[in-house]
């Protein structure tokens, strides 16, 4: 991805650096050739050239670009799980994924980790974004997801004589698990997304207390992935699935819904970040009836919401790390609503705005394995910056309103927002 040239000074705003540190009320950010060279109080700003580009933050907020840690670029706002796989041909879903990536960037998300993708779309989308062919967040790609046969994602009935063609590699035993990861190695994925457990969405045989992979399969995934320098995450709701993931050596957990004392201790020992993705549950409860969800499914989402919120509070209170990501791409939780996750964590789960912003910036970069480059407003890092007309610490919901964005910057170049395209 190209970096900007010359000097950019962003001033007249409060500086929120993404580390959770106190706000610098009259802050300035200076960028040179796409890298941050100064982040601090206006009074301490070094001399800068007269021809520098100056962006006025209008008394609002200067902060790091947001990071969506559970992004499904190929989920196209579906109302039925089955549509995620092969409702449309891969060619069309690739275009939809490109539109979702552009939207995410316009929403202030300058980086994202894919939580799984139809076929290999996210791998190539990432390449297109990095080559500046299409706009979108810097991506960490996962390719196809892995699930045990008969598990949550194995929904095509046998009479159709097709497996899960596009979205999921179905496995049965450690040998299959290794083979699936080796396929992802060749495909160019960086993360391996697995399904250790079921979900409230499948109440009959794969609910949120059901396991969808064995420990041996998960262990085989991790050993193979780590050997090739890849990281592993998984959809973990049931307590035993969380425990298996932590013991097998997972690098992050998606959801981490039903954590108990033992799994919390394991999580903290290994310092594994968790991406709860909880606003999805609230939306399933509130809007599920519109989309034909049964009461049994909605009850399961309620249990998941309550368990997940409690686990998230406990993890953060105990010194653990949370990433912000929301499984957006369902009809009741569509692309573009990403920042609602942040408001939800303030208003419903009870986190402080600066904590949530840290989860959505610094911790996101740590999950991506790129915290040396992005995630905070620190000298030497790449200038992925969001400038907002408003005090997001006083009202986090401002981040949901793109019309308040003065600029969304990647590598010192304005890619979206009102300042986009100015010299």
Give whichever of 251 and 327 is closer to Zn ion, judged by the CB atom: 327
Helix (H, G, I), strand (E, B) or coil at 209: coil
Give whichever of 14 and 206 is closer to Zn ion, judged by the CB atom: 206
Site string for Zn ion, 245-284 (x = CB under 5 A): ----------------------------------------
Give whichever of 152 and 409 is closer to Zn ion, judged by the CB atom: 152
Continuous H helices in 76-194: 83-86, 90-106, 121-130, 174-187
- Asked whether the beta carbons of 73 and 121 are under 8 A apart, the reply is yes
From the CB of 373, what's the least distance to Zn ion, in Å? 25
Q: Fill in the DSSP letter of residue 330.
A: B
- Asked whether the beta carbons of 215 and 247 are under 8 A apart, the reply is yes
Give whichever of 258 and 280 is closer to Zn ion, judged by the CB atom: 280
Give whichever of 304 and 376 is closer to Zn ion, judged by the CB atom: 304
Residue pointed to by tokens 């939800």: 344
Q: Fill in the DSSP letter of residue 21.
A: P
- Among all residues, whose Cβ is closest to Zn ion? 115
List 140's β-bridge partners, or say none: 113
Containing 67, the helix (H) or strand (E) segment is: strand 66-71
Give whichever of 115 and 300 is closer to Zn ion, judged by the CB atom: 115
Question: According to the binding rule CB under 5 A, does residue 327 interact with Zn ion?
Answer: yes
User: For residues 205 and 203, what is the distance between their CA atoms, to the nearest angstrom?
Assistant: 6
From the CB of 72, what's the least distance to Zn ion, in Å? 6
Which 157-186 residues touch Zn ion, going by CB under 5 A? none
Helix (H, G, I), strand (E, B) or coil at 215: helix
Give whichever of 113 and 415 is closer to Zn ion, judged by the CB atom: 113
From the CB of 149, what's the least distance to Zn ion, in Å? 20
Give whichever of 63 and 201 is closer to Zn ion, judged by the CB atom: 201
Q: Give the tokens for residue 189.
A: 């994925």
Q: Give the tokens for residue 150.
A: 């008969």
From the CB of 280, what's the least distance to Zn ion, in Å? 8
From the CB of 303, what's the least distance to Zn ion, in Å? 18
From the CB of 115, what's the least distance to Zn ion, in Å? 4
Stretch that binds Zn ion, among 41-49, 156-164, 320-328, 331-339 (CB under 5 A): 320-328
Q: Fill in the DSSP letter of residue 231.
A: E
- Helices 295-317 and 279-287, packing angle to 10 deg: 160
Give whichever of 70 and 243 is closer to Zn ion, judged by the CB atom: 70
- Asked whether the beta carbons of 117 and 142 are under 8 A apart, the reply is yes
From the CB of 225, what's the least distance to Zn ion, in Å? 18
Give whichever of 115 and 411 is closer to Zn ion, judged by the CB atom: 115
- Asked whether the beta carbons of 130 and 1 are under 8 A apart, the reply is yes
Stretch that binds Zn ion, among 90-98, 184-192, 322-330, 331-339 (CB under 5 A): 322-330
Which 104-133 residues touch Zn ion, going by CB under 5 A? 115
From the CB of 146, what's the least distance to Zn ion, in Å? 13
Site string for Zn ion, 60-79 (x = CB under 5 A): --------------------
Query: Under rule CB under 5 A, how many of the chain's residues touch Zn ion?
Result: 2
From the CB of 70, what's the least distance to Zn ion, in Å? 6
For the beta carbon of residue 347, count every other beta carbon within 10 angstroms: 11
User: For residues 95 and 44, what is the distance between their CA atoms, to the nearest angstrom?
Assistant: 46
Residue pointed to by tokens 């499904």: 72
From the CB of 152, what's the least distance to Zn ion, in Å? 11
- Asked whether the beta carbons of 276 and 312 are under 8 A apart, the reply is yes
- Helices 215-227 and 174-187, packing angle to 10 deg: 30
For the beta carbon of residue 78, count every other beta carbon within 10 angstroms: 16
Q: Fill in the DSSP letter of residue 172.
A: -
Q: For binding to Zn ion (CB under 5 A), which residues are involved?
A: 115, 327
């Amino acid at each position: 991805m190209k970096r900007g040239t010359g000097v950019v000074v962003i001033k007249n705003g409060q500086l929120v650096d993404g580390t959770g540190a106190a706000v610098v009320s009259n802050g300035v950010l200076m960028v040179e050739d796409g890298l941050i060279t100064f982040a601090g109080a206006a009074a301490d700003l070094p001399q800068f050239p007269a021809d520098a580009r100056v962006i006025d933050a209008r008394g609002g907020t200067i902060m790091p670009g947001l990071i969506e840690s559970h992004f499904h670029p190929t989920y196209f706002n579906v109302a039925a799980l089955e549509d995620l796989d092969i409702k449309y041909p891969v060619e069309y879903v690739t275009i939809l994924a490109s539109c979702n990536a552009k939207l995410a960037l316009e929403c202030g998300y300058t980086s994202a980790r894919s939580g799984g993708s139809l076929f290999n779309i996210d791998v190539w989308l990432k390449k297109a974004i990095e080559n500046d062919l299409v706009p979108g967040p810097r991506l960490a790609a996962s390719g196809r997801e892995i699930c045990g046969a008969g598990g949550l994602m194995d929904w095509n009935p046998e009479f159709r004589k097709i497996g899960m063609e596009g979205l999921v590699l179905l496995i049965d035993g450690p040998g299959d698990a290794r083979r699936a990861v080796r396929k992802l190695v060749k495909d160019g994925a960086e993360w391996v997304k697995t399904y250790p457990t079921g979900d409230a969405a499948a109440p009959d045989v794969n609910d949120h207390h059901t396991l969808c992979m064995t420990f041996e399969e998960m262990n085989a995934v991790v050993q193979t992935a780590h050997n090739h320098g890849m990281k592993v995450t998984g959809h973990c709701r049931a307590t035993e699935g969380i425990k298996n993931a932590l013991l097998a050596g997972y690098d992050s957990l998606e959801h981490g819904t039903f954590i108990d004392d033992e799994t919390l201790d394991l999580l903290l020992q290994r310092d594994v970040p968790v991406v709860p993705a909880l606003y999805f549950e609230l939306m399933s409860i509130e809007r599920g009836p519109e989309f034909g969800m049964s009461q049994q499914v909605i009850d399961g989402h309620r249990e998941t919401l309550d368990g997940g919120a409690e686990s998230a509070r406990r993890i953060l209170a105990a010194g653990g790390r949370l990433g912000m990501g929301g499984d957006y791409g369902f009809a009741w939780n569509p692309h573009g609503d990403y920042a609602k996750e942040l408001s939800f964590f303030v208003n419903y789960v009870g986190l402080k705005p600066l904590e949530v912003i840290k989860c959505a910036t610094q911790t996101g970069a740590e999950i991506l394995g790129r915290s040396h480059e992005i995630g905070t407003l620190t000298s030497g890092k790449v200038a992925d910056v969001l400038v907002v007309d408003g005090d997001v610490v006083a009202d986090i919901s401002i981040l949901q309103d793109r019309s308040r964005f003065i600029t969304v910057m990647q590598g010192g170049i304005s890619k979206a927002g009102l300042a986009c395209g100015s010299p």
